Every structure is written in structure tokens, then in C-alpha cells.
Amino acid sequence: MHRLETSSPNSLIGLLEILEDIGKPTDIAKLDDSLDEERTMLMNLLDDAESLKLITLSNGDATLTETGKKFLNSNIEQRKQLLHTLVKDVEPFHSLIDYYKSHGTREIQKEDVGRFLREKFPPGEQDDTFKILLNWGRYTKLFTYDSDVGLVVMND
């Protein structure tokens, strides 16, 4: 299962908007020129967008899917709801949702989420993965985080 690498939805939305402006399948090298991102970041964005079923990648070209077009033609709340549904099928969200369900709760301490991330994902990536969880989780309203008490709450 794919693991999101993009730290927030904003970069991914920017990629989709560029593809929409171009209006046809676009060579990845041209996207590299259009985006002010490092090559690795671009590849992560493309992989994440494809895993979320917002684009397809074929023969070095990126193309918006019907889901991607629907996303771009939606208002902000509809976008959040669509991504809310889509992120559940990628890591770290898929595993974390299972973790919440296995514990029979919607509230887990940040330290316990951190321990889970250390056990489930490559060493040294816990902070980045937690940041991805918070940024995407808040945007999609899948999770909230109360920093005062260190509580990560699943809203779904």
C-alpha cells in the first residue's frame, strides 16, 4: 500500500491545478519546469496524486482522472470530503485507522501514536509521518489534534 510523502495537501492541489491549466496529458519533465519543487518532491507529488486516484501516470505523462477533475471542480468542503475518503486507502492513514479501531477508541495520546508510527514505518521518519498525519488529517477532517493535552482524535 502506498504511503503519502507529500507533507500537505496544498502542494498536491497546486500540481492538479497546473495539470488542469495545461488541459492534456503532460510530460513529467514539463511539470518539473512548471513547479518550483525539487525533483524528488515532484516524484513524491506524482506518486501521491496517483495513489489517491487523482491522476494517472503513463509513458512519462501525467493526466487528470475523472476523480481529479471532480476534485478541482468542487468547492473547498467537497474537496475536503473527497480527500477524506481517498486518504483512508493510503498509509499512514489506513493503518492508523485500524489502530484506533483495534483499541476501541477515537482518542489516542500523541506518544502512543508516535510509538505506533515507530513500529510500523521506517526508523527516523516518525516526525515527518506525524506531520503528514496532522496536515492531511486536519485538512480532511479525519483527525484533530489537541496540542494542549497531546491527544489525536479520529473524527470518523
Q: What is the pTM of this model?
A: 0.90
CA 31 to each of CA 9, 27, 79: distance values in angstroms, whole numbers, following the listed order: 18, 7, 23
CATH code for the part of the protein at 9-72: 1.10.10.10
Beta-bridge partners for 152:
108, 145
Sheet of 151-154, strand order? 107-109, 151-154, 143-146
- Report how far Cα 23 is from the mean position of its chain's Cα atoms: 23
The torsion defined by the Cα of 106, 107, 113 and 116, in degrees rounded to 10, comes to: -50
Q: What is the dihedral of CA 133, 136, 142, 147, to 10 degrees?
A: 60
DSSP for 83-146 reads HHHHHTTSBTHHHHHHHHHHHT-SEEEHHHHHHHHHHHS-TT-HHHHHHHHHHHHHHHTSEEEE
Pairwise CA distance, residues 50 & 65, whole Å: 9
pLDDT digits (tens), the chain, 156 positions: 899 999 999 999 999 999 999 999 999 988 877 666 677 788 999 999 999 999 999 999 999 999 999 999 999 999 999 999 999 999 999 999 999 999 999 999 999 999 999 998 887 888 889 999 999 999 999 999 999 999 999 997
pLDDT of residue 1: 80
Confidence at residue 53, expressed as pLDDT on a 0 to 100 scale: 97
